[in-house]
Structure formats: C-alpha cells, structure tokens
Amino acid sequence: MIYSSELIKGTLKTIVLKLLADNKKMYGYEITQRVKELTFDKIQITEGALYPSLHSLEADGLVTTETEFIGKRVRKYYSLSATGKTKTKEKVSELADFMETMKFLLDIKTNTA
C-alpha cells in the first residue's frame, strides 16, 4: 500500500528534517530513495512535494545548503542548521503527540489482544 499524498503532505517537513538529523547532509534524490527504502516503498515522496518543501525550509533558515559540482551539473546538499536541529526535535515530538491523539480520536486499537 502506498499512502496518499494528502497524508504525507503535512508530515513531509518533519520527515526531511529527521532524515537530515540522522544523516548529516543529503541531496534531493538521496532523500526520496532513503524514505522509500526505510518504509519498504510505502511512502514515496514526489519531486513536486519535496523540492518546494526543501526551498521553504531553506528560506526559514532551518537547513543550509552546499553545492558540489558533478561534471556539468550541480548537486545541492542539505544539512540542518542550529535552529533546524532544535526545530526537528520539536516537530518529531509534535508528530508523536499528534499520532497518539489520532489513535484516541479514531479509536484505533494497537494491541488486538
């Protein structure tokens, strides 16, 4: 099953921030591949969602970029800034809290014992 893009939209920034926290620096393609790998293809981040989010994170000062030339093309590596690091913790705990609330709200039983 592949999750719908609406579900991913609200959590995409958190996913990207957490990945960068764990991997120091990453480029766009690498991020999509890593997410695919870690979720066994269940979450597939589209290019149309990823790059706008990355640009927005950069504008917010949460990530910094460095460029590397690969032949004729340029690869942009993203890494967390100092504020990005604290923001990541906030965002992850917010999402965890949100998931707990959703479980309760939608009456999802995790332990079917």
Partner 1 sequence: MYQLNEQQIDYILNDIGARGVEMESLQQNLLDHICCIIENNLEENGDFESFYKKTIQTFYKDALWEIEEETLQLLTNKNYYKMKKIMIYSGTLSVAGFIAGSIFKIMHWPGASAILLLSMLNISLIFLPLLFILKTREVSAMKDKLMIAIGTIFGILFSTSSLFKIFHWPGANLMWLFALGILMFVFIPIYFFSGIRTPETKVNTIITSIILISAGGMLFTLTSLKPSTKFYIGKTYNYLQGEELITRMQLIKNDTTNQNPEMINISKEILENCKKIKEIIIIDGIGIKSIPKDFETKDIILQESGLGKEFDPAASGMEMIQKLKKQINSYNTLVNRNKQLPIDNNIERMEKMELIRISNYNLLNSLTEIQLFILQNEKGLMLN
Q: Assess 72 for contact with partner 1 (CB under 8 A).
A: yes
How many CB atoms within 10 Å of residue 51? 12
Q: Which of 22, 38, 56, 93 binds partner 1 (CB under 8 A)?
A: 56
Distance of CA 108 to the CA centre of its chain: 25
Q: What is the closest distance, in whole angstroms, from the C-beta atom of residue 68 to partner 1 in the complex? A: 10
Q: Name the residue nearer to partner 1 (CB basis): 3 or 51.
A: 51
How far is Cα of residue 24 from the mean position of the Cα atoms in its chain?
13
> Nearer to partner 1 by C-beta: 72 or 109?
72
# binding residues, partner 1 (CB under 8 A): 24
Segment 1-30, which members bind partner 1 (CB under 8 A)?
27-29
By C-alpha distance, which of 73, 69, 81 is closest to 25? 81
Least distance to partner 1, CB of residue 107, Å: 34
Residue closer to partner 1 by CB (options 37, 107) is 37
Cα end-to-end span (Å), the chain: 25
The reply to whether 46 sits near partner 1 by the rule CB under 8 A is yes
Q: What are phi and psi of 44, to 5 degrees?
A: -120, 110
